[in-house]
Amino acid sequence: MIKLTKEKILRLRTELPPIKEALAKFNDDLIREFVRDALERAPDGLWLDPCSSSGRYHPPFDQVVPGGIINHLIIVGLYFVEQGIRRYPEFTNDKSEPTPRWLDLARATFMVHDIAKSGIPWEKRTDPNHGSLGAQFLNRLQSFRELDLADRIMILKGVTWHMGRWTPTRKLGCFDAIVLLIREADYYSTRKRVRIAGLELINYSSLPAK
């Protein structure tokens, strides 16, 4: 368990050991640099706030301050992405192993899917439109525009529609495999009985900034 002040989290961001470890998994340099850039440019609240403004839908390790959303996006949720992707023939070979490119895109999509969780600019409560707001935020990044068009479309679909039935209109919107994968990982990684042994969480207790 990593215990850091708010100041240090904001100073380090993508240099935090668990984040560096997650970024090191990418095979494609452009996708890695896009994710790094998006996280660096994300509102401070993404790094400091709990994952749920109400506290109703996330377990304690997603609700710590600072670091709750990052625990969900980078540490706990990525495990579910890396395991869940094996269930989708669209992303795997004949041995049920995901290809490097699909793994990169799935990881990237999950790591940025809540980048506008409380809106842009960041507010105190979850924005019900944060999927579409996140897609708009990513579309403005030069590092995102440098990706292949097909890859950009896939990431935007996953981010836009990750909320499923909890979108404001209650319309599920899109059923592409990447969307279903992100929805599943997002949901099951937040269940309160999920075992987190062995995962190096970022800051389980609130520490005052020095």
Domains of the chain: 6-188 (1.10.3210)
Mean pLDDT lowest for which of 102-111, 129-138, 168-177?
Answer: 168-177
What value does the mean pLDDT of the chain take?
Answer: 89
CA–CA dist 157, 147 (Å, integer): 15
Task: Tell me what pLDDT residue 197 has.
Answer: 72
Confidence of residue 201 (pLDDT cuts 50, 70, 90): confident
pLDDT classification of 210: cutoffs 50, 70, 90: very low
Please give the share of the chain, as a percent, with pLDDT higher than 90: 64
Q: Report whether pLDDT(106) > 90.
A: yes
pTM of the entire predicted model: 0.91
Beta-bridge partners for 201: none
Contact in structure between 159 and 131 (CB atoms under 8 Å): yes
Tokens 């937040």 -> residue: 190
> What is the predicted pLDDT for the residue at 191?
86
The pLDDT assigned to 79 comes to 92
Measured in residues, the chain has a length of 210
Amino acid at 30: L
pLDDT, tens only, 47-88: 999 988 887 778 888 888 888 899 899 988 999 999 999 999
Kindly tell me if the per-residue pLDDT of 154 is higher than 50: yes
Amino acid at 103: L
Whole-Å CA distances, 78 to 119, 123, 135: 22, 25, 19
Q: Is the pLDDT of residue 3 over 90?
A: no
pLDDT band at 171 (very low <50, low <70, confident <90, very high): low
Examine the pLDDT at 112 and tell me if it is beyond 80: yes
